């Protein structure tokens, strides 16, 4: 900005150039930052996998079971009521929305099919992941970020303790396990929610149960759980990465930013991964 312009003409010519250059700069910087973050996350994932494997092998440094259990409770157990609430509501909403149209064709009982397919293949895992992004992801990012600003991470490194093994591995494993378990609960609860609505709308309970049994196959159930596991990895990875990447001098502002970003990135990543997986499963004919 310090360079002085030579005249009016010069100014009018340069503003679009400058504007474009500015835009280009923003795009360049953003993409470089995102690439950097992706690279960092990939490194963190590799290191976590490495530490997990060596921790499981005989002779390797054992991982703390206590820490894992603690994280599982913290990540998942407290989220159970919320997951149940959300999935129950979804299970009641979806049949209500589809019922009028289905009833027109005299197929009202098909709400069971629609609801159970939606639950097992899609919404069970997806909604659980979104709940956990806010519930576990944000709290992990905030916790690790605070540890960075309190010099705890640096202290661990100086004590030759690996933060990845100590902090990331239990959180990541806990998120994956709890994602899968919560998804099982979510699936069942959502089907139950549909069942309640069905009863209210006059769909026979026996029929509802029968149709649900027919609609849900093993492949559908498993693909849902696979997705849940991947969502778990994403939540654990993103929250740990952003939390550990708070800089010590950023203080609580950095922690706040990491927390917010975690929720946003998690949701975007989860839905992106969901799209990719659904396409893959569909292409391989797992949904027939």
Partner 1 sequence: MNHAETNQREPVIRVQNLTKRFGSQPVLQGITLDIHHGEIMVVMGGSGCGKSTFLRHLIGSIAPDNGNIYLFGRDITTLSEDALTEIRKRFGILFQSGALINSLTVGENVALPLREHTQLDATTIEIMVKIKLELVGLREHADKMPAQLSGGMKKRAGLARAIALDPQILFYDEPSAGLDPVTSAQIDQLIIALTRKLDVTSVVVTHEMDSAFTIADRMCMLDKGVVLKIGSRSEFQRLREAAADELKDENEQLIRQFLRGDADGPITRRKERSDYEEDLMMVQTRADA
* Residue written as token pair 């609801």: 115
Length of the chain as a residue count: 288
Residue 146 CB, shortest distance to partner 1, in Å, is: 8
Instruction: For partner 1, give the closer residue by CB, 82 or 156.
Output: 156
Instruction: For partner 1, give the closer residue by CB, 71 or 98.
Output: 71
Within a 13 Å sphere around the CA of 79, how many CA atoms are in the beta-carbon half?
31
Instruction: For partner 1, give the closer residue by CB, 193 or 254.
Output: 254
Residue 142 CB, shortest distance to partner 1, in Å, is: 13
Residue 185 CB, shortest distance to partner 1, in Å, is: 27
**Tokens standing for residue 249:** 């001098």
Nearest alpha carbon to residue 243 among 179, 128, 163: 163
Residue 70 CB, shortest distance to partner 1, in Å, is: 8
Instruction: For partner 1, give the closer residue by CB, 154 or 253.
Output: 154
- How far apart CA 83 and CA 183 sit, in angstroms, is 9
Please give the residue ranges that form the binding site for partner 1 (CB under 8 A): 2, 4-5, 61, 147, 150-152, 154-161
Instruction: For partner 1, give the closer residue by CB, 86 or 138.
Output: 138
* Diameter of the chain measured on Cα atoms: 85
Range list of H helices, the chain: 8-56, 65-75, 80-104, 111-117, 124-132, 138-149, 152-158, 163, 169-201, 205-215, 218-244, 251-283
Handedness of CA 259, 262, 264, 267 (dihedral sign): negative
Residue 35 CB, shortest distance to partner 1, in Å, is: 20
């Amino acid at each position: 900005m310090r360079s002085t312009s030579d005249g009016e003409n010069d100014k009018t010519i340069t503003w679009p150039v400058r504007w474009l250059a500015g835009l280009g700069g923003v795009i360049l910087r953003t993409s470089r930052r995102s690439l950097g973050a992706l690279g960092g996350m990939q490194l963190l994932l590799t290191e976590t996998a490495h530490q997990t494997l060596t921790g499981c092998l005989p002779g390797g440094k054992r991982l703390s079971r206590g820490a894992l259990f603690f994280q599982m409770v913290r990540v998942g157990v407290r989220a159970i009521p919320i997951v149940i609430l959300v999935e129950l509501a979804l299970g009641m909403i979806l049949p209500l929305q589809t019922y009028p149209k289905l009833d027109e064709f005299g197929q009202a009982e098909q709400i069971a099919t629609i609801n159970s397919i939606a639950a097992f293949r899609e919404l069970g895992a997806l909604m659980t992941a979104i709940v956990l992004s806010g519930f576990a992801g944000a709290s992990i990012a905030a916790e690790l970020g605070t540890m960075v600003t309190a010099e705890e991470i640096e202290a661990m490194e100086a004590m030759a303790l690996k933060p990845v093994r100590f902090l990331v591995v239990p959180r990541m494993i806990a998120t994956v396990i709890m994602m899968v378990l919560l998804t099982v609960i979510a699936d069942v609860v959502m089907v139950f929610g549909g069942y309640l609505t069905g009863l209210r709308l006059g769909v026979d309970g026996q029929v509802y149960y029968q149709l649900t049994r027919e609609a849900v196959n093993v492949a559908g159930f498993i693909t849902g759980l696979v997705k849940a596991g991947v969502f778990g990895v994403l939540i654990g990875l993103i929250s740990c990465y952003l939390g550990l990447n708070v800089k010590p001098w950023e203080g609580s502002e950095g922690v706040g930013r990491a927390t917010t970003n975690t929720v946003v990135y998690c949701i975007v990543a989860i839905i992106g991964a969901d799209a990719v997986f659904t396409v893959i499963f569909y292409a391989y004919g797992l949904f027939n």
